[in-house]
Structure 1
Amino acid sequence: MRISRNPTRSVRIGSIEIGAAHPISVQSMTATHTQNIDATVGQVNALHAAGADIVRIAVDSDKDAAALAEIRAQTSANLSVDLQENYRLAAKVAPHVDKIRYNPGHLYHHEKSRPWQEKVAFIANVAQEHDCAIRIGVNCGSIDPAKKSKFDPADAIGPILESGLEHCEYLEELGFTRFVVSMKDSDPSQVVTINQQFAARRPDIPLHLGVTEAGLPPDGIIKTRIAFEQLIGRGIGDTIRVSLTVPNPRKPEEIQAGRSILDDIYAGRLRSVVALDPTALNIISCPSCSRVENEAFVELAQDVKEMTQYAKNHAITIAVMGCRVNGPGETDDADLGLWCGPTRVNLKKGEESLGAFPYDEILGKLKAELDKIIAQREAVSQTSPIPK
């Protein structure tokens, strides 16, 4: 299958180049705790052996940053670091990685009185000094509130798109052009729309593609395939990640799934349907990563999927998130949401908190709320007038 790729500029990340005419790269993220050096090195090297072109590691503290130096010494993989609220950690990790990823929506958490432009300038200066690329990573569930407030609440795409474009323009004003952009959502159709619109306005900037919180396989692979086939088939996308909720030993499955999807697209073996069934139960769950405070999160996501099968014909979205960093915000748009702490799971109905419960009680609490939603919707449908 002949695909005419968008004429994006070339961006070097360690030993590889992405964008332009270079092959689409495949990447993943570690799920081990970064300070567990042996486990993290083992997973980085397992992903690298499986064909990962880039491996991302989360760094949330000074101790994580110190561990990263040891990890770097024990692997030849191209490493990306995932910064969260503390943008100043960039200075400590940049000597040991090939790319720095920051989320515009997380910048406002740290040093709130300082404008985001100063924080981005700090990251760009550090990246320039240490020969690092940058990824601007915009996620649907973690948009800066100041940016989000400028759009209609029903507009899920506008804040993501404008945030990405705004940060691109500012980095270029600083003279820094060695960057890529990702704009992710848990809805494959939204991912397609956002990236198509961005590519139409900035076809020169390389795009990293992914469906965030795609969930458990095989559903997570299907959701991702739907987005990738539509985007890559149109020449959009320079690097990809398949984000799956899987136990640590199975992390290389993300790489295998990504390679398989790319092979099928280029061979013309397109498998995806036009769209997901909008009348069916939709379970989204984030990929396990080092921020997960209890690995029981992965088992919980599997249990939720099994327990809710009786509701599979109801258009209800349930989100299962693994940490307190992304969990609270990225469950807001779900009908029911779970975000997991070390010993308790927080249950939400939309943006409303319903309490925190032990892991061995949460399924019962979730089922009770799910039954309420089903009963309420059935009552409404029975009292609604029949269309003439």
Structure 2
Amino acid sequence: MELRRNPTRAVRVGSCTIGGGHPIAVQSMTATHTQDIDATVAQVLDLEKAGADVIRIAVDSPKDAAALKEIRSQVKANLSVDLQENYRLAEQVAPYVDKIRYNPGHLYHHERSKPWQEKVAYIAQVAKDHDCALRVGVNCGSVDPAKKVDDYGGDENGPLLASAFEHCEYLDSIGFTRYVVSIKDSDPKNVIEVNKRFALQRPDIPLHLGVTEAGLPPDGIIKTRIAFEQLISQGIGDTIRVSLTVPNNRKHEEIEAGRKILADIAAGRVRSFVDFGLDTLNIISCPSCSRVENEAFIDLAQQVKEMTAYAKDHKITIAVMGCRVNGPGETDDADLGLWCGPNHVNLKKGPVELGHFKYDEILPRLKQELDLVIAEKSGQALTSS
């Protein structure tokens, strides 16, 4: 069947066009270290062969930017770049990519006294000068610190939506409309809600869909499918990414999973795992990317899943994050969080730091804390019953 689509404007990203009735584009991100040029080129080519329409590369330093220049000379793929705190790297990378992604929540970490509007105007001008599109990437783990849930009547999605709307309004006001928006969460129910609410108010803006930190397959694919089925079947979504925790040589599985989900939705094969894993143990883990400092993170995520299986009937969230860039903030909302450094794993209980442990020491300590959380939640349940 033909998918109904919201009448979004068209945003060109190299040879690909997102929105405007064009086919839903499928994206992924390289997991190799950007400065390892040969490995990154090989992964770009592998993702392109798998059917990726746009491929994102992380750039965190001038050395990464210099490597990107050489990578661009060896590939023809539509490239997107992922900026984090240092928004001024945009000028160094824009000549070599087709799209720049910035996170509104990360604009506050660099040049803190400067208004965010001035920073966005700079990024937009760089993009315009170099024929690049933009993605405004709003993420549950890194929101504008000035936006508190209490300011939105306790609406947990209020800060995400407010940040997305204000950045769209500002970009429109300065005459830059060549952008897409993503609003991501690790909970597919929240992904569905925020994107529905955004599309209701701004149906003209192309949406990039994804469940962040979806985790290991097959659970990560099912979580993503939940969100995509509910949104795409209602005309919402113009480009997608399936974010999976997989080894570097299996990154193409993100593309294959995305295309399979789209084909199933188009054919009416909607599985509707509406409540999958949302009221039981939930393991979330970020997709492997170039910021991972120790690839043992991927094995650790699998070990955590296996070790915690005994708690499967408890509504507990455990987050396993692969780097210091997103790990500290994006584990705050989990009951227990692990973010991985080069030699140690940092353990948290909500926003509280519990210490750091060697990779071969973390699982026994995690089990101790998990048992405590189970006891605490069981006690709360008994008290409230």
TM-score, structure 2 as length reference: 0.98
**Counterpart residue identity of residue 32, structure 1:** T
CA contact (8 A) 2:149 2:155 kept: no
Structure 1: gaps (5+ residues): none
Deviations 1:87-109 (A, max 9, x none): 00000000000000000000000
Q: Where does 1:147-296 land on structure 2 (aligned, <5 Å)?
A: 147-148=147-148, 151=151, 154-296=154-296
CA contact (8 A) 1:346 1:355 kept: yes
Cα 1:197–1:379 change in 2 (3 A) is closer
Q: 1:325 corresponds to which residue? A: 325
d(CA) in 1 for partners of 2:377 and 2:54? Answer: 45
The answer to whether the aligner puts 1:101 opposite 2:101 as a matched pair is yes
The answer to whether the aligner puts 1:39 opposite 2:39 as a matched pair is yes
d(CA) in 2 for partners of 1:180 and 1:137? Answer: 9
Q: Secondary structure of the residue that 1:85 maps to in structure 2?
A: coil
Q: 1:129 corresponds to which residue? A: 129
Shift of the alpha carbon at 1:2? 3.5
Q: 1:73 corresponds to which residue? A: 73
d(CA) in 2 for partners of 1:327 and 1:12? Answer: 32
CA contact (8 A) 2:284 2:317 kept: yes
**Counterpart residue identity of residue 299, structure 2:** E
d(CA) in 2 for partners of 1:210 and 1:317? Answer: 19
CA contact (8 A) 1:222 1:272 kept: no
d(CA) in 2 for partners of 1:279 and 1:169? Answer: 36
Q: Secondary structure of the residue that 2:257 maps to in structure 1?
A: helix
d(CA) in 2 for partners of 1:380 and 1:104? Answer: 37
Cα 1:154–1:350 change in 2 (3 A) is farther
Cα 1:370–1:150 change in 2 (3 A) is closer
d(CA) in 2 for partners of 1:9 and 1:230? Answer: 22
**Counterpart residue identity of residue 29, structure 1:** M
d(CA) in 2 for partners of 1:379 and 1:212? Answer: 31
**Counterpart residue identity of residue 28, structure 1:** S
Shift of the alpha carbon at 1:166? 0.5
Q: Secondary structure of the residue that 2:151 maps to in structure 1?
A: coil
d(CA) in 2 for partners of 1:43 and 1:157? Answer: 35
Deviations 1:137-168 (A, max 9, x none): 00001002112366358432111111011101
Cα 1:149–1:187 change in 2 (3 A) is closer
Cα 1:19–1:294 change in 2 (3 A) is same
TM-score, structure 1 as length reference: 0.97
Cα 1:17–1:272 change in 2 (3 A) is same
Q: Where does 1:82-101 land on structure 2 (aligned, <5 Å)?
A: 82-101=82-101
d(CA) in 2 for partners of 1:98 and 1:243? Answer: 21
CA contact (8 A) 1:171 1:177 kept: yes
d(CA) in 2 for partners of 1:37 and 1:146? Answer: 39
Shift of the alpha carbon at 1:276? 2.6
d(CA) in 2 for partners of 1:228 and 1:51? Answer: 19
d(CA) in 1 for partners of 2:280 and 2:384? Answer: 23
Q: 1:140 corresponds to which residue? A: 140
> Comparing 28-37 with 1-10, which one deviates more in the overlay?
1-10
d(CA) in 2 for partners of 1:253 and 1:153? Answer: 40
d(CA) in 2 for partners of 1:47 and 1:279? Answer: 34
Q: Where does 1:50-69 land on structure 2 (aligned, <5 Å)?
A: 50-69=50-69
d(CA) in 2 for partners of 1:300 and 1:82? Answer: 25
Quick one: percent identity of the two aligned structures?
73
Q: How many pairs are equivalent?
A: 385
Q: 1:23 corresponds to which residue? A: 23
The answer to whether the aligner puts 1:358 opposite 2:358 as a matched pair is yes
Shift of the alpha carbon at 1:275? 2.2
Q: Secondary structure of the residue that 2:82 maps to in structure 1?
A: strand
**Counterpart residue identity of residue 53, structure 1:** D
**Counterpart residue identity of residue 11, structure 1:** V
> Comparing 284-293 with 142-151, which one deviates more in the overlay?
142-151
**Counterpart residue identity of residue 224, structure 2:** T
Structure 2: gaps (5+ residues): none
**Counterpart residue identity of residue 156, structure 2:** A
Q: Provide the aligned C-alpha RMSD in A.
A: 1.2
Cα 1:46–1:258 change in 2 (3 A) is same
d(CA) in 1 for partners of 2:300 and 2:354? Answer: 18
> Comparing 268-277 with 161-170, which one deviates more in the overlay?
268-277
**Counterpart residue identity of residue 308, structure 1:** T
**Counterpart residue identity of residue 45, structure 1:** L
Q: Secondary structure of the residue that 1:145 maps to in structure 2?
A: coil
Deviations 1:187-243 (A, max 9, x none): 001000000000000000000000000000000000000000000000000000000
